[in-house]
Amino acid sequence: MMTVEKVLFRSVAEHAAALAAGEYTAVRLTRAYLERIQERNGEINAYLYVDGAGALAAAEESDVRRLRGECRGVLDGIPYALKDNFAAKGLPMTCGSKILGGYVSPYDATVVARLKASGAILLGKNNMDEFAMGSSGEYSAYGVTKNPYDRTRVVGGSSSGSAATVADGMAAFALGSDTGGSVRQPAAFCGVYGLKPTYGVLSRYGLASMASSLDCVGILARTAEDCGLLLDVLAGQDAHDATSVVYAPKSVQALDHVLRLGVISFDGVGGIDEEIKAASARAVERLTACGAVAETVELPLPDEALAAYTVLSSTEAASNLARYDGVRYGRRSARSETLSALYENSRGEGLGAEVKRRILFGTDMLVRGNREVYYLRALRVREAVRRQMEALSERYDVLISPAAPTAAFGLGSTPSPDALYCADMCTVYANLAGVPALSVPFGVNAAGLPLAVQLTARRCGENLLLAAARLLCDGEVK
Amino acid sequence: MEYTVERVRELAAMARISLADAEAEALCCELNAMRAIAETLRDASDLPDPFLGAVGLGEMRDDSPHVGLLRTDVLALSPAVAKDATVVPRAVEG
């Protein structure tokens, strides 16, 4: 007989089959996850808020629907977690920041509403780097999230709690957000799948904006199949998000032709661990053994692309975060005598150091003179990158690279500048070009820490990504 | 141009953020590191304009066909349209 702990690590598809077969009820499953959270969260700090009563009530409704033959589909009765920068009606929403302390969302984000309509059960809100700025899980105002594989190491970020939640069996799946790798990098550090879909495929309505032209809703799950199932439910145009696009759900399908694989070269780029290089090489070998044709490719404009990402993400963040002024949302400074002082003190007291740094840099990049030299040129670089990535996707179905240059690093330690540079190089291209990318867990290093590769495809090519991921992990020859 | 404490304070005033002295000093160093990354853009030239480059100035005519408020040739250049998806901006929906 399967232990409760093993059940908690089942995939969404496995849970759906078990619920349909009557192996357990949604209430029993939800209660098991809540017990796991109670047991583990004190150590990992993956959840900022747990809605136990709401989750159990939703689970009871799911069980009643199933008994009546009114099951809403594959997600009905499946418990999940939500990064704390998504709006969920009646629940706190802090974005990992003190400035939103006490704020309760009055509405549901579109993706939350779609999950609710599909019968999925929200367990609670996950910890995150403040306003999605950070890549270690150490920049939350509510404490560090620790890596379930090794509590002395970071979990990655900014979707830190979401990745740890899935990796540690505290939910069946989680939603995060990805502006420059914030779903894929923590997924890589935690040995789970992290999907950043095509820009616009998942509605951003109800997701707190960091850099609107780069932000994407992302999926963290245990299998590629789960990522596909969730994409099918969540994707679709939304009148509340003018950048949302039509996307035809396709789930995971087998490839109907020989996979054309572009292997991204990192020759001359320092900072990549030998174990990561070896894992990437093994992944290429496995895919070619399955019939893929591989060629080495260069990333376009590497230095300029990183500069463009730095400038665009900071300028957009500076603009988006102007709304947190102590008047309309959350925390207000108690020591201000004028309106101007109220704004400045509320923001000074409520925002963390990393957020202030990016706001100030973004502000500087937009002042007269700098705007022409940096911001407008960054837009041109992004357009050039987009076109060159599009040209690459005409020649290759999937590009493969490391998802991160190192495995999870130690808490409180800073990776080398080379490693930081390379970490950005691995992930920001997909955001600049608006194309989908998937972090695929692929083995562990000598210390037992997860390693991962990243697959990137053309716009709306999620199906290719998921099929290639299945090929990679199952070694299936189709 | 390097960031100084005075410049950091000017930017903080623009962004409406109060800063302690120690914070402003620490930010100088961090902002200089970010500026060094951005400097690469000074050398970026001959790159396409994201708004006009795809269409070309010679093709910008007032009598171009429109769908709602959007020119059909501009709409057709949307990458989403090219990949069998449809962007429907509010102007068209209305």
CATH number at residue A3: 3.90.1300.10
In whole angstroms, give the CA distance from residue A342 to residue B18: 10
Pairing status of strand A398-402 against strand A293-297: unpaired
Of A307, A322, A390, the CB nearest to B37: A307
Q: How far apart are the first and last CA of chain B?
A: 48
Chain A residues within an 8 Å CB radius of B37: 306-307, 310
Of B37, B39, B80, the CB nearest to A245: B80
Residues B10 and B34 in one domain: yes
Exposed / middle / buried, residue A258 (Cβ in 10 Å: 0-12, 13-18, 19+): exposed
Q: Is the residue at B51 inside a domain?
A: no
Of B8, B18, B37, the CB nearest to A348: B18
ipTM of predicted assembly, 2 dp: 0.90
Residues B68 and B39 in one domain: no
**Structure-token match 């002395």, residue found:** A152
Chain A residues within an 8 Å CB radius of B16: 322, 325, 340, 343-344, 347
Q: Which of B17, B32, B86 to mutate to test the interface with A (most CBs of A within 10 A)?
A: B17
φ/ψ (deg, to 5) at A134? 150, 160
Q: What is the tally of structural domains in chain A?
A: 1
- Is the CB of A343 inside 8 Å of chain B's CB atoms? yes
Q: Which helix (H) or strand (E) holds A128?
A: none
Residues B11 and B33 in one domain: yes
Residues B10 and B37 in one domain: yes
Minimum CA–CA partner of A361 in chain B: B31
CB neighbours (10 Å) of residue A361?
A: 27
By annotation, the residues of A acting in catalysis are 83, 158, 182
Chain A residues within an 8 Å CB radius of B35: 361
Q: What is the tally of structural domains in chain B?
A: 2
Task: Tell me how many helices (H) and strands (E) chain B has.
Answer: 5, 2
Using the beta-carbon criterion (under 8 Å), do A460 and B84 form an inter-chain contact? yes
Q: Which of A356, A368, A420 to mutate to test the interface with B (most CBs of B within 10 A)?
A: A356
Using the beta-carbon criterion (under 8 Å), do B16 and A378 form an inter-chain contact? no
- Is the CB of A378 inside 8 Å of chain B's CB atoms? yes
Sheet holding A398-402, edge to edge: A47-50, A121-126, A79-83, A173-178, A216-221, A193-196, A437-444, A450-456, A398-402, A260-264, A293-297
List A49's β-bridge partners, or say none: A125
Each residue's pLDDT expressed in tens, for chain A with a length of 478 residues:
578 888 999 999 999 999 999 999 999 999 999 999 999 999 999 999 999 999 999 999 999 999 999 999 999 999 999 999 999 999 999 999 999 999 999 999 999 999 999 999 999 999 999 999 999 999 999 999 999 999 999 999 999 999 999 999 999 999 999 999 999 999 999 999 999 999 999 999 999 999 999 999 999 999 999 999 999 999 988 989 989 988 876 655 667 788 999 999 987 777 789 999 999 999 999 999 999 999 999 988 888 999 999 999 999 999 999 999 999 888 899 888 899 999 999 999 999 999 999 999 999 999 989 999 999 999 999 999 999 999 999 999 999 999 999 999 999 987 776 677 778 888 999 999 999 999 999 999 999 999 999 999 999 999 999 999 999 987 543 3
DSSP A194: E
Q: Is the residue at B50 inside a domain?
A: no
In whole angstroms, give the CA distance from residue A223 to residue A438: 11
- Is the CB of A462 inside 8 Å of chain B's CB atoms? no
Q: Is the residue at B18 inside a domain?
A: yes
- Residues spanned by the domain of A234: 1-478
Using the beta-carbon criterion (under 8 Å), do B47 and A380 form an inter-chain contact? yes
Where would I find the beta strands (DSSP E) of A189-325? 193-196, 216-221, 260-264, 293-297
CB neighbours (10 Å) of residue B45?
A: 8
- Is the CB of A98 inside 8 Å of chain B's CB atoms? no
SS3 state at A273: coil
In whole angstroms, give the CA distance from residue A108 to residue B17: 30
Partner B, chain A 171-210, Cβ-Cβ below 8 Å:
200
- Is the CB of A334 inside 8 Å of chain B's CB atoms? no
- Residues spanned by the domain of B80: 57-93
Of B15, B30, B48, the CB nearest to A387: B48
Residues B39 and B9 in one domain: yes
- Nearest chain A Cα distance for residue B63, angstroms: 26
Chain B residues within an 8 Å CB radius of A200: 80, 85, 87
Using the beta-carbon criterion (under 8 Å), do A377 and B84 form an inter-chain contact? no
Q: Which helix (H) or strand (E) holds A403?
A: none
Q: Is the residue at B48 inside a domain?
A: no
- Is the CB of A49 inside 8 Å of chain B's CB atoms? no
Using the beta-carbon criterion (under 8 Å), do A363 and B90 form an inter-chain contact? no
User: CB–CB of A375/A319 below 8 Å?
Assistant: no
